[in-house]
Structure formats: C-alpha cells, structure tokens
Structure 1
C-alpha cells in the first residue's frame, strides 16, 4: 500500500473517530481541593453526563468540606492563555461559568466569551458571602455587566439570585422565578434556573423560567443535610446536556433529575458537608448508599456556606 493510500485511511479513521467523540464543554471555575465544587465537580459531572470537559482554572480555593477560608486568584492572562490554547485546538459545544476569582477574572472570561456568541453558556452564581465586601461587590458588578449579557441560563439558589437580581425587593412575599427571569433579562440573560424555592409542605421547588413564565420544574423532598457542590453539579450537568443539542426544557429536567439522584447517593468524605455522588449510576446493582441518624434541620441545597450537621442523612 502506497503512502497516499495510507494517508487517506488515517484521515478516514480520524473522521470516524471524531464523529463518535463526546461533545466538549469548556468550564471556567476555581480549583477546589475537596473535589466537592469548582473545576473538579465540573469535570466529574460533565464526564458522568457523557461529554468531555475542557477545564480552565480561574482561582485556587483554600477550603475543606465545611467552609472556604480564602481564595487565590490567578492572573487574568493565565486564564486567557489556558482558554485560548484549547479553543484554537478543540471545538466546543457549550460553556460553563462558575467562580471566576475576581472582577478582573470576570472581564478576561467575558472577552473570550464574546468571540463565541453562538455557543450556549450556562452561568452559575454561588453564594459569595465568604468574600471581602468590597471584592464581592466588584465581582458581582462585573458579573452583572459582563457575564449576564452572554448567558443563556443563569443558575443559582432562590436566595442568592434574589439578592443579586432584586436587591431592593421589599414585598412580603418572595419573588417568583418569573420575576427573577424578568430581572435577569434586563441584563441580557435569556433564562434562569432557580433552585430552593420554599414551598409550604416538605418540598422545595426548582424552576426553569423565562420572562414569560415558568417553563418546567421539579420538586424535591427536603434534603436534611448540608451539601457542598450541588450548584456546580446542576449547572455543569445542564451545560453537558445542552452540548448534545437537547432542547432547554428537556435538558433542565434531566439536569435536575441527575442532581436529585446525585444528592440522594451523596457521601461525606470529611467532617463537613455531603458531596453529591456524580457516579451514583455506577454503583453495583442493589447497593444503596448508607443512611445516618435523623437530621437536625433542613438547609438550602445550593447554599455552600451553611454549617454542617453532625449526622448524614441524605433524602
């Protein structure tokens, strides 16, 4: 066989391999040494959903499974260089934005996103109460101005999104998911996925909404545990499902179902919170996660700042 034919065979083989390759999801997030949140959570979740993660580290968290002690932001040029190098090599099908480290990091990431406006972006806004007040304000202002206009779906807990999008809200009732979506739309975001909406019974609601109203949702029975990494898990799952071309409402329902089961199988590796088991589906048949004694109180699923309970009881 001559060299020309060999080259043609290799090209055909590469094309066949690419056709069956998983979709690539580029994630901007912090490095979390516990693996509970941040880039480690994104990699595990995206892989569990059948896509391939392209992880770009934006900062380094110093934390355990109970709390965040401090964060060390990376130089914005280092963040840009990481992203540009892989973007020049691989084709991405969706983005995931998590914690970007600082207002400068937000600006750097926004510049990259602006070159790929046709790629769907899922942005997760965690609870940042652990940050210095001035740094937090600068970060949120930059996120609001630069990331929201590029965002397809903004994910966050009801409390966090209310404080961020409707800081002057003074009605006796909490804002609805639609009202949060209207506020997000004023900054250019198409949809919100709001979690932890309190219901009068033993359930909480999780709602995907546009400014026109709720599109889909899923109610969870209250989880009586302190979780770490639930928000990153949900948003990364949504980004991974969207990378396959799935319709948004279907993707949101699948992502919520995945989170529910991952929390149900969660485990406690240390003395702090419970980490979602993103590979719950890989447990041997008939094997169930252990359950602990009765819990003390219920907490917000996506609030990583709540103090840990002494018992582990997961749904």
Structure 2
C-alpha cells in the first residue's frame, strides 16, 4: 500500500483536503558527520529541489571536512530491510545511489532496484580511495555488473570514470565523454555525466553523453578552493528533477546550474574543505552597497542590544 492509495476526497471542502505529497526519491548512501556528502548532502539537495528524500543508510563514514578516516559497513540485510519497509508504504519516482559500502552492499541494493525497473536510477560513483585495493576492486566489479545495467544516468569525475570504465586507457589524450558513454553502455547504462573535464583558461567542463555523442553540458570557471560533496549534490539534484518527470537533458542542465550556484555560495564550517550551500536561494538579498541585508521577521519585536548576525556565507 502507498500514499497513492489515499486520494483526496472530492466531497471534502478544499480547506480540509490534504495537500498532495511531493515526489519521493529514495537514496542509498553512506552517513557521514560533516554533512557535506552522503545522505546528509542528498537530503539537503533533494529538499532544496522541492522533493522528499527517503534515506537508506548503507555505511557509516568517519570523517571530517578534510578526509575520510575509516568506515563501518552495515549488514546487507539491514540495508534491504530499511528500503523495503518504506517501499511498502510510499511510492517513489526516482532512485539515487551513492556509496554502498561493500560489494555485498552493492548486490543487496541492486536486488531491490531490480524490482522497480521503471523508476529512473541516478548512480554516483565517488572516488573510494579510503578502501584498500582489494575492497575497491570487488566493489567496482559488483557495481559494474549489477548497478550499471539498471542506471539511467551515471555521474562521476572524469578521472574516476576513466579508471572505472576504461582501466586500460593508454592514449596520449584523455578519454572523451562519448567514449566513456560507449563503455558504460556496454554494461547497460543509458547516459553518463562526466564532470571535471579540464579545459584551458581555468575552466572545467561537465558533459552529458550517450553512445551517440554529447547531449548537453555546462562549463564552470574553476574555483580557487577545494570542495567536498559536489558529486552527491549534482546526482541528487538530477534524481529529484527526474522524479517529477523532467527529461534527462533538461534535468542535467538544471542540476548543473544548481550545483554551480551551490558552490558559488559555498562555506567552510571547519578547517578542511568548503561545502556546497544547497540553500543559497534562501540567503538574504544583497543591498545596493553589495552587502547582504539581514532577514527580519516582521512579527518578531526588535531588540536593541541583539548581537549582530553571523557574516554572509558567500565566497566570491
């Protein structure tokens, strides 16, 4: 049974009818305490895009804003039980897959995904450098065999995707997005969004492609700071947009624009890297002098000795 089984009652007056629920996106990802990536990043992004996240924990990462120290993987049965419990209650319209913890986790999640073949899947492949070489290889082999055949859009950094899809690449030039898409297509993935392609003059390119060639993309000016959470933000935004029926090319274009603005408004909460601000659109508007005016609740009385608010978060 799902929320779709409880339609609004036309006999009730409008003020007594429930508002329709937002589109629901299930995310399989790790939990980590910085809030930069993993489930926290997915939840913030999906909410900012106007959808509702259904988060399923696959692993717990121990990290700060600079690096990952260790991980604890959840038992596969626990991961599956989390997902199936809510899937019996709520109708979803998109999946987001992030880090699944282990090869066993990949297999368990892939089995759940296979029961809903019509729900679009956005799969993000992070650089899993915190795993040892054997763990990395088994994880990637399982991901290639079990998740890629069900993937609508595969998202990843250019180098990460090249190492994953074309491990024997030895040409003098970088692999093109189309070549990566052809390799992904051989395993069943329909589209590949390649990020972080280095361009001259301090720009990077982000290109959506399929086996026929590039479809859409957007160039970003390179930031002078290092970010964490960009890949999870981008892939979760695409999933949220697909959940409301957007075409893949328009979903990717809008998600890239959202990511660019999130990075432009990024903030550094600790001593490590900068985090995307997924709620950049909720920041106070700038006044005529370029400073951000404080938002004042008209229903809240002014207090003369109130301490000043924190400085603006924008980083230009």
Q: Do both share a fold (TM > 0.5)?
A: yes
C-alpha distance in structure 2 between counterparts of 1:72 and 1:10, whole Å: 52
Structure 1 residues 34 and 10, CA gap change in structure 2 (3 angstroms): farther
Shift of 1:89: 0.2
Per-residue deviation, residues 90-148 of structure 1 (Å, max 9, x unmatched) = 00010000000000000000000000000000000001112111111110100000000
Per-residue deviation, residues 141-186 of structure 1 (Å, max 9, x unmatched) = 0000000000000000001000000000000000110100000000
Aligned ranges 1:157-168 → 2 under 5 Å: 157-168=157-168
C-alpha distance in structure 2 between counterparts of 1:289 and 1:36, whole Å: 26
The CA RMSD measured in Å over matched residues stands at 2.2
Q: Tell me the equivalent position of 2:150.
A: 150
Shift of 1:75: 0.5
Q: Tell me the equivalent position of 1:17.
A: 18
C-alpha distance in structure 2 between counterparts of 1:62 and 1:54, whole Å: 22
Contact 1:148 1:187 in 2 (8 A): yes
C-alpha distance in structure 1 between counterparts of 2:13 and 2:184, whole Å: 46
SS in structure 2 at match of 1:26: strand
SS in structure 2 at match of 1:17: coil
Contact 2:27 2:55 in 1 (8 A): yes
C-alpha distance in structure 1 between counterparts of 2:23 and 2:62, whole Å: 31
C-alpha distance in structure 2 between counterparts of 1:26 and 1:241, whole Å: 13
Q: Tell me the equivalent position of 2:308.
A: none
Q: Tell me the equivalent position of 2:56.
A: 56
C-alpha distance in structure 2 between counterparts of 1:256 and 1:136, whole Å: 28
Aligned ranges 1:1-315 → 2 under 5 Å: 17=18, 20-286=20-286, 314=315
Question: Any unmatched runs of 5+ in structure 2?
Answer: 1-7, 293-312
Question: Any unmatched runs of 5+ in structure 1?
Answer: 1-6, 291-311
Structure 1 residues 282 and 22, CA gap change in structure 2 (3 angstroms): same
C-alpha distance in structure 1 between counterparts of 2:15 and 2:95, whole Å: 25
Per-residue deviation, residues 241-284 of structure 1 (Å, max 9, x unmatched) = 11110111111000000000000000000010000000000001
C-alpha distance in structure 2 between counterparts of 1:162 and 1:289, whole Å: 43
Shift of 1:212: 0.3
Q: TM-score, normalised by structure 1?
A: 0.87
Q: TM-score, normalised by structure 2?
A: 0.87
Please say which structure displays the higher CA radius of gyration: 2
Shift of 1:201: 2.1
C-alpha distance in structure 1 between counterparts of 2:234 and 2:9, whole Å: 43
Structure 1 residues 314 and 186, CA gap change in structure 2 (3 angstroms): farther
Contact 1:31 1:58 in 2 (8 A): yes
Structure 1 residues 134 and 313, CA gap change in structure 2 (3 angstroms): farther
> After the TM superposition, which segments of 4 or more aligned residues of structure 1 sit over 2 Å from their partners?
7-18, 287-290, 312-315
SS in structure 1 at match of 2:18: helix
